[in-house]
Amino acid sequence: MANNTNRREFLKNTGKAGLAAALALPVLDTLATGCNQAPTVKTGAATPYEQQPLPYAYNALEPAIDAATMEIHYTKHAATYAKNLAEAITAEKVDKNSTSLETLLSGISKYSAKMRNNAGGHYNHELFWQALKTPVEGAKPAGKLLAAIEKDFNSFDAFKTQFGDAAKNRFGSGWAWLIVGNDKKLAIVSTPNQDNPLMDIAEAKGFPVLGLDVWEHAYYLKYQNKRPDYIAAWWNAINWDFVQKRAAGIIG
């Protein structure tokens, strides 16, 4: 598969940051000072500009997320964001080799609406796929991540309630996020459309460790208007090992 060559080249070209990206490990570059500065926690782990292979089969997330939804979501919606992003970076002369996707997102206000929608759309979905796995009833985090959740939200159940509310209350299309802020604390935020907390235009900034897509295209085939049922099922399909790795080293 061509992807192996791409991955080798990617690692060769990006060194440590590339390795961190391959392992999905966050790298803490800088902690911004002051409260209104653009993005707080930065990561040197670069998300590739190209759509990556789905790490499991389309039916792997059933019954939480059905195979038809996954196939359309990955091959149509997410693939289109990646294609449109490629067009935008060519048109707006972004050098992919010297500018990581994360860096681009952190200065997204300088670019077009097409760049904002599709850089966000591509990044958000790459994270979304990786943070999912075959559902296990009652799946929950462990270790340092669970301890941080209990410290910052009082309990895992309280965290779930707060995150679920953010996802349910996002009017129209958007995302709910678990982020690490520059105070190294976990926080729950939501963004409209394909925005995300790395963007300089985001109301609440931070490094996203988990994201939930609440666009209707993510759930409508199986759940129709019942977004809360989709959210309830999604909890069982979270890949907490992945989320833990992403948060390791940047949570206080």
Residues at the contact surface with Mn ion, assessed by CB under 5 A: 213, 215, 218
Q: Which residue sits closest to Mn ion, CB atoms considered?
A: 213
Q: What is the DSSP letter of 192?
A: E
In angstroms, give the least distance from the CB of 44 to Mn ion: 26
In angstroms, give the least distance from the CB of 215 to Mn ion: 5
Grouping H, G, I as helix, E, B as strand and the rest as coil, residue 184 is: coil
- Of the pair 59, 193, the CB lying nearest Mn ion is at 193
Taking the CA atoms of 224, 226, 227 and 231 in sequence, report the sign of the dihedral they define: negative
Paired tokens of 28: 């803490």
In angstroms, give the least distance from the CB of 194 to Mn ion: 8
In angstroms, give the least distance from the CB of 242 to Mn ion: 18
In angstroms, give the least distance from the CB of 27 to Mn ion: 26
Residue located via tokens 């890949």: 239
- Over its C-alpha atoms, the chain yields an Rg (Å, rounded) of 17
- Do residues 202 and 196 touch, judged by C-beta distance below 8 A? yes
Which candidate, 107, 111, 120, places its Cα nearest to that of 89? 111
Cis status, amide bond into 63, omega within 30 of 0? yes
- Do residues 63 and 233 touch, judged by C-beta distance below 8 A? yes
In angstroms, give the least distance from the CB of 175 to Mn ion: 9
- Of the pair 10, 215, the CB lying nearest Mn ion is at 215
- The C-alpha atoms of residue 31 and residue 217 are separated, in whole angstroms, by 36
- Of the pair 153, 219, the CB lying nearest Mn ion is at 219
